[in-house]
Amino acid sequence: MGRIIVVVVDGMGDRPIDGKTPLQYANTPNIDLLCREGITGQMNTITPGIVPGSDTGHLAIFGYDPYKTYPGRGVFEALGAGIKLEEGDVAFRCNLATVDEKLNVVDRRAGRIKDGKKIVEEIDGMEINGVEIILKSTTEHRCSLVLRGENLSNKISDVDPHSETKIWKSKALENTHEARRTADIINKLVEESYKILKDHPINKEREKEGKLPANILLPRGAGKYVEIESIKEKWGFKASCIAGGALYKGVARYLGASIIDVRGATGRLDTNLHAKVDAALKSAEQYEYTFLHIKGCDNASHDGDFRAKAEMISRIDEEVVSKLIDFDGYVLITADHSTPVFVKRHTSDPVPILFHGEDVRRDSVELFDEISVVHGGLGTLRGIDLMPIVSDYIGYYKMYGS
Ligand code: ZN
Ligand code: ZN
* pLDDT above 90 as % of the chain: 93
CA of 336 to the centre of ligand 1 (A): 5
What is the pLDDT at residue 225?
Answer: 97
What is the pLDDT at residue 39?
Answer: 98
When pLDDT is cut at 50, 70 and 90, the band that residue 271 belongs to is confident
Average pLDDT over residues 141-146: 95
CA of 301 to the centre of ligand 2 (A): 8
What single letter denotes the amino acid at residue 119?
I
CA of 294 to the centre of ligand 1 (A): 9
From 339, 291, 290, 289, select the one nearest 313 (Cα to Cα): 339
In the three-class reduction of DSSP (H, G, I as helix; E, B as strand; rest coil), residue 128 is classed as strand
What is the pLDDT at residue 181?
Answer: 98
Sign of CA dihedral 65, 67, 68, 73: positive
CA of 149 to the centre of ligand 1 (A): 32
Question: How far, rounded to the nearest angstrom, does the alpha carbon of residue 182 sit from its chain's CA centroid?
Answer: 25
CA of 299 to the centre of ligand 2 (A): 7
CA of 203 to the centre of ligand 2 (A): 32
CA of 221 to the centre of ligand 1 (A): 16
Please check the confidence at residue 370 and state whether its pLDDT lies above 80. yes
Tell me how far apart the alpha carbons of residues 91 and 156 are, in angstroms, rounded to a whole number.
11
Cβ–Cβ < 8 Å for 219, 158:
yes
Q: Which ligand is nearest to the CA of 247?
A: 1
Question: How far, rounded to the nearest angstrom, does the alpha carbon of residue 50 sit from its chain's CA centroid?
Answer: 17
Tens of pLDDT along 284-324? 999 999 999 999 999 999 999 999 999 999 999 999 999 99
Q: Which ligand is nearest to the CA of 54?
A: 1
Tell me how far apart the alpha carbons of residues 373 and 355 are, in angstroms, rounded to a whole number.
11
CA of 248 to the centre of ligand 1 (A): 9
In the chain the first and final C-alpha atoms are separated, in Å, by: 21
CA of 261 to the centre of ligand 2 (A): 22
Please check the confidence at residue 115 and state whether its pLDDT lies above 80. no
When pLDDT is cut at 50, 70 and 90, the band that residue 130 belongs to is very high
What is the pLDDT at residue 140?
Answer: 86
The count of other CB atoms within 10 Å of the CB of residue 113 is: 25
CA of 135 to the centre of ligand 2 (A): 25
CA of 102 to the centre of ligand 1 (A): 36
Tell me how far apart the alpha carbons of residues 339 and 302 are, in angstroms, rounded to a whole number.
7
Tens of pLDDT along 218-236? 999 999 999 999 999 999 9
When pLDDT is cut at 50, 70 and 90, the band that residue 269 belongs to is confident
Is this structure's pTM higher than 0.85? yes
What is the pLDDT at residue 347?
Answer: 98
What is the pLDDT at residue 270?
Answer: 86
CA of 40 to the centre of ligand 1 (A): 20
Question: How far, rounded to the nearest angstrom, does the alpha carbon of residue 225 sit from its chain's CA centroid?
Answer: 17
CA of 52 to the centre of ligand 1 (A): 8
When pLDDT is cut at 50, 70 and 90, the band that residue 51 belongs to is very high
Average pLDDT over residues 194-221: 94
> By 3-state DSSP, what share of the chain in percent is helix, strand and coil, each rounded to 5?
35, 20, 45
Which residue intervals of 137-242 are DSSP H helices?
A: 177-198, 201-208, 231-235
Tell me how far apart the alpha carbons of residues 290 and 279 are, in angstroms, rounded to a whole number.
10
Q: Which ligand is nearest to the CA of 61?
A: 1
Q: Which ligand is nearest to the CA of 245?
A: 1
